[in-house]
A and B are shown apart, each in its own frame.
Chain A
Amino acid sequence: MRDRVAKGPLIPYLLWIVFFVIAPIALIIYYSMLDLQGNFTLENYKRFFSPVYLKMAFTSFFYAILITFFTLLISYPTAYFLTKTKHKHLWLMFIIIPSWINLLLKTYAFIGIFGLYGPINAFISVFGIEPKQILFTDFSFLFVSVYIFIPFMIMPIFNSIDKLNPSLVDAARDLGASPFTTFRRVIWPLTIEGVKSGIQVTFIPALSLFMITRLIAGNQVITLGTAIEQQFLVAQNWGMGSTIAVFLVLIMFASMIFTAKRTKGGRV
């Protein structure tokens, strides 16, 4: 009896999972095995392992790692110092507010800022430097992506540092650890879960970026995200687009497993 009562409320969620999680993935896998004429084929998978697509996959991976790395590099110290401020939650909110603004809007704003007649070029021309092409470069792509992802990285790290018992830091100092050793042997290992969550919420979306890639990097950077867009909207090759999507899903799974919680060990 009790079992039945408990199952009832689960039905909407089960339906949700079936229709919005399982079904789309099944559809993607189904479409990935169709050619342009709608015939069953594994040709798309074979094509994915051609140099063109492998290079794209590598580029996506490479940029996603770079973006994640720089985001982490900025976010960890920021989160750390935020927890030490007096009104930490207020400051955290200030950092998070930009993430409420529409992504497209922010991206367009950067087109204006980085543009040939934008404020940055205007500023450097004061010092007699010729206006430069900032937009459509690797730098601008990384810069904007990192900017977009920072709040998402800061939040989990902030929480894990905030949760850290301050007497553990005292204890490490008391036992003779310098501030750096304290960080390396106590603070970092105890906040690594926050870092892992931060990496997940940055790395996985960064893999499939296409809007920022298109608008900020132009055609300088071609990633799997832009390739999917190409295949679906331009080439109308749903089969190939789905195949790339399948591989993206696989890479994401792999990175999830890689950043998953590990069992506690003895030494660090």
Chain B
Amino acid sequence: MGNTIIQFENVSKSYDDGTVVLKNINFELEKGKFYTLLGPSGCGKTTILRIIAGFTAPSSGNVYFNGKKINNVPAHQRQVNTVFQDYALFPHLNVFENVAFGLRIKKMKEKEIQERVREALKFVNLEGFENREISEMSGGQRQRVAIARAIVNNPEVILLDEPLSALDLKLRYEMQYELRELQQRLGKTFVFVTHDQEEALAMSDEIFVINDGQIQQSGSPVDIYDEPINRFVADFIGESNIVEGIMLEDYKVQFAGKVFDCVDKGMKPNEKVDVVIRPEDLEITSVDKGKLVVTVDTQLFRGVHYELSTYDKDGNEWLVHSLKKAEVGEEIGLYFEPEAIHVMRLNETEEEFDKRLESYGVSENA
């Protein structure tokens, strides 16, 4: 508990016109970790960030920072700094002065300002750019200036609002590595907002998947990828095949007209469930060896693998990622291990979900 830096307690946010953005959000963030708020646009993730930064006040509930309630602390008195989506660099100031902005406000001595700005710029590999105008910097460089401007103040928490979304693909990949490395070198708490699940999986210690103003699931990237709590999470994170099924009894699930062995238990007999199988867990085999028999509809070459869209006799679509090629129109068998089947109860809360997983005896944080 002593490690908690930010805590949300029953935080809700709605606007005057009645739109509800956040519904009863609860979470705790620990010092020195990389957190990601992941969700589609309009899900409320940016609102959470703005509440932490102090730009927006929650309609109800409390926000704690280092154990102190900060609901009424104005933005300029909080020990957090933000990297904005559009970077929000001051166009009338050059690179040095942008980074020095926060230090000048603190009335720091000129010599110390020089030192710290130089150090921050070195941190983001922008030495020698001090006197450039912002308009002379490329997108990736502006991004770094924005990060330098945030870290130079030595805040406890750095908030990043979709900072990579304006960059091109290659630069985005590079910045993912850099951000993760930067966070580990600084040892600060990062709260990163994104709608890009790949970014979230690659960088985070812990991900909060948010939809419709609620936290759907939180956990390590591996947990969330392997054990999504519901259809939304399974669909949003990675690619998945989701079909409806019936849990006949423990370790027996029926879908696509057949009964399969699985590793899930603890549901009511004959309970309706959603079944997820990731495309990379499906293996192409001959029709007689296959657990499912499907017809190949389309095939795309994705570089590392082929992506096959196939249909079974019931009309369910099965996406397959395979190193092997198939022929369009061909009938093939699909094989998968019992562990590949992930069963999701409908409308299960995160608490119930965690409890059920624990009862399997597998360590969740493996």
Contact = CB atoms under 8 A, between A and B. Distances in A.
Interface string B198-212: 000000000000000
A41 interface: no
A264 B75 contact: no
A174 B76 contact: yes
A219 interface: no
B131 A266 contact: yes
A128 interface: no
B97 A266 contact: yes
6 contacts: A167-B85, A171-B82, A182-B76, A185-B105, A266-B93, A267-B93
Interface residues of B, number: 30
Given A266-B93, A266-B96, A266-B131, A175 B105 contact: yes
Interface residues of A, number: 22
A177 interface: yes
A190 interface: yes
Interface in A140-179: 165, 167-168, 170-178
Contacts of A174: 53, 55, 75-76, 80-82
A177 to B, nearest CB: 5
B230 interface: no
A173 B94 contact: no
A175 B86 contact: no
Contacts of B75: 170, 173-174
A172 B93 CA distance: 12
B88 A170 contact: yes
Contact of B101 (A172, A189, A264): A172
B91 interface: yes
Contacts of A5: none
B149 interface: yes
Given A174-B76, A189-B92, A264-B92, A167 B84 contact: yes
Contacts of B94: 264, 266
Given A189-B92, A190-B91, A170 B106 contact: no
A88 B75 CA distance: 26
